[in-house]
């Protein structure tokens, strides 16, 4: 996780390559190869550190789990490249495009691919690739990604840059001020989380032990990401380090802000999460 | 396959996006989502056609095989983005980088991911992700990709552009004229094929039925790609359509041009294919 954050800060979100896709695609490809291949030699401090991490994965998990992580890693980098491309072209994506991009660029894929490596669960192929399980994974990633956008909102606003996040996207999409975009984003996030809970509760009872561990990991991921994001200086960047034991920062709504069922409007690329025959 | 070639010609290799990574990364991401999601709506003729193909895959194969294809598809597009980034930056890659990029941009990953969909073989995870099987897949892809570079050489030379292929890369890497680069490229390709054969013959005897079908598919792929590439106007582009029954075009060497064992010099990113403990 820390490797990912460091790489993200130095090479993706900010740093000299953040608006230069022609420059990012090549080192992005090299780092991905470093993730796959121990014999590769790249003159990049991040590549070497990633190879060290991957060696540990290979020493402790079967090739299937390591391959899944590598695929997830590529998915992440492809989203980063997409984001950098938008930035370079000065293009603010529409909502649907943004959600697909954010699913990837948020780094949720490799984060959740760590679940098997961390817990020792070995989810069978036929379980992991089930559309319902895939939908649950994507929904958990999106909820966490939108929560991250919330955590970073203050920092991004004070930074003065109109970066691509769910708020700037919705302000453009709905032609509305920030306050309305915040409400719309929270509603969207809540609807996805509600669908996650609904589908989870349908899938979990018949899940085998390994799949159950994985699904529980997705749930912990959503919650843990919030607890972490509300404290971490990386997102806050307001010069003040919250007390680790200070719980007052964590405020939870009593109920979802939007309980409308069915697919979110204007987001066909994720509409299948609400398919009736999932699960 | 034909969808891939059409997309490649219109959006990747040539076409308006071929040197503009900021413009390619976004539609690349959209097309990938179309590959994963039927509900996605993109205003791109290629996305809709790909969704139609994917629907057929989903109707005829388990989610695991369809997911493998989707992952392979992303790998391909990431290689294309890399290539376009190099083009935009006017950067001719070194040999090692080029080989990693070419493994992806050649489209060999999705091509061979079709093997399971076409044959009905269902290779177990623990087989497909074995390092030896992964090495065999990558070697088959590289041999076919280098053969494609050979097929296109005449066209590329007459086109007058110094595109990224194994010859232009080797001319820069070895500071040599084309003739020497051709010799070096053929030697490299032959060494990889020799290693493929050696490793294949070690893995095949203990392979289960599905893995054996897959491995045989890799072999057919190398041979078939050559038979196809020597005839197809797409590569030849010399205004003359070879007679389908004309076998005289197919000239095979009696023996490999280079039989040196062990990893190819200057290519650490693929050196692990020669690891003694594979297989």
Q: Which of B62, B77, B100 sits opposite A33 (nearest CB)?
A: B100
CA of B58: which chain A residue's CA is closest? A131
pTM of the model: 0.92
Contacts (Cβ under 8 Å, ≥6 apart) of A95: A169, A170, A173, A266, A267
Mutate which: B18, B22, B28, vs A, most A CBs within 10 A: B22
Closest CA to A179 of A158, A153, A156, A161: A153
For chain B, the domain total comes to: 1
Residues of chain B contacting A62 with CB distance shorter than 8 Å = 126, 129
Which range marks the domain in which residue B153 is found? 92-274
**Residue holding tokens 């003359």?**
B240
Residues of chain B contacting A21 with CB distance shorter than 8 Å = 21-22, 25, 81, 85, 88
Cα angle, residue A221 at apex, residues A220 and A222 outer, rounded to 5°: 95
Residues of chain A contacting B85 with CB distance shorter than 8 Å = 21-26
Average pLDDT of every residue of chain B: 89
Q: Is there a contact between A25 and B77 if contact means CB atoms under 8 Å apart?
A: no
CA distance linking residue A196 with residue A274, whole number of Å = 9
By mean pLDDT, which of A228-242, B132-146, B148-162 is the weakest? Answer: A228-242
CB atoms within 10 A of CB A228: 16
CB atoms within 10 A of CB B110: 21
Closest CA to B95 of B159, B19, B189, B24: B189
Task: Tell me which DSSP letter residue A206 carries.
Answer: G
The pLDDT profile of chain A, 279 residues, written as one tens digit per residue, is 899 989 988 876 666 666 677 778 888 999 999 999 988 887 788 999 999 999 999 999 999 999 999 999 999 999 999 999 998 889 999 999 999 999 999 999 999 999 999 999 999 999 999 999 999 999 999 999 999 999 888 776 766 566 899 999 999 999 999 999 999 999 999 999 999 999 999 999 999 999 999 999 999 999 999 888 877 766 555 555 555 555 555 678 899 999 999 999 999 999 999 999 896
Query: What pLDDT is attached to residue A155?
Result: 73
Q: Is there a contact between B125 and A270 if contact means CB atoms under 8 Å apart?
A: no
Which one has a higher pLDDT value, A163 or B279? A163
Query: What pLDDT is attached to residue A227?
Result: 85
Contacts (Cβ under 8 Å, ≥6 apart) of A153: A165, A167, A182
Residue A253 tokens read as 């709504």
Question: What's the length of chain A?
Answer: 279
| Per-residue pLDDT at B160 exceeds 80 | no
- Does residue B260 sit within a domain? yes
DSSP string for residues in B223-244: HHHHHHHTT-HHHH-SS----T
CA distance linking residue A61 with residue B176, whole number of Å = 45
- Does residue B67 sit within a domain? no
DSSP string for residues in A109-125: HHHHHHHHHHH-----H
- Does residue B141 sit within a domain? yes
Residue B236 tokens read as 């030849």
Mean pLDDT of B157-162: 64
CA distances from residue B52 to B36, B49, B60, B70 in whole angstroms, order as listed? 11, 5, 13, 14
Task: Tell me which DSSP letter residue A62 carries.
Answer: -
pLDDT band at B184 (very low <50, low <70, confident <90, very high): very high
**CATH assignment at residue B112:** 1.10.600.10
- Does residue A235 sit within a domain? yes
The SS3 of residue A149 is helix
- Does residue B69 sit within a domain? no
- Does residue A59 sit within a domain? no
- Does residue A50 sit within a domain? no
Query: What pLDDT is attached to residue A26?
Result: 85
- Does residue A74 sit within a domain? no
| Per-residue pLDDT at B194 exceeds 90 | yes
């Amino acid at each position: 996780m820390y490797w990912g954050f460091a790489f993200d800060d130095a090479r993706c979100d900010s740093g000299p390559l953040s608006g230069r896709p022609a420059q990012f695609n090549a080192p992005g490809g090299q780092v991905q190869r470093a993730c796959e291949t121990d014999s590769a030699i790249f003159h990049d401090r991040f590549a070497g550190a990633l190879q060290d991490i991957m060696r540990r994965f290979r020493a402790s998990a079967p090739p299937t789990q390591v391959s899944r992580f590598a695929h997830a890693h590529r998915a992440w980098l492809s989203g980063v490249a997409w984001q950098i491309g938008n930035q370079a072209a000065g293009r603010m994506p529409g909502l649907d495009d943004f959600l697909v991009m954010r699913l990837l660029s948020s780094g949720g894929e490799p984060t959740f691919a760590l679940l098997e490596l961390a817990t020792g669960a070995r989810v069978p192929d036929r379980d992991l690739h089930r559309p319902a399980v895939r939908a649950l994974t994507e929904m958990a990633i999106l909820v966490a990604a939108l929560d991250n956008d919330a955590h970073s909102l203050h920092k991004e606003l004070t930074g003065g840059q109109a970066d691509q996040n769910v708020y700037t996207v919705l302000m453009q999409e709905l032609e509305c001020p920030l306050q309305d975009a915040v409400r719309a984003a929270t509603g969207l996030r809540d609807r996805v989380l509600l669908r996650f809970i609904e589908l989870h509760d349908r899938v979990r009872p018949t899940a085998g032990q390994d799949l159950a561990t994985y699904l529980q990991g997705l749930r912990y991921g959503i919650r843990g990401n919030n607890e972490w994001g509300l404290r971490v200086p990386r997102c806050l960047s307001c010069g003040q380090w919250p007390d680790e034991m200070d719980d007052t920062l964590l405020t939870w709504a009593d109920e979802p802000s939007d309980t409308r069922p069915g697919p979110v409007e204007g987001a066909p690329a994720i509409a299948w999460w609400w398919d009736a025959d999932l699960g």
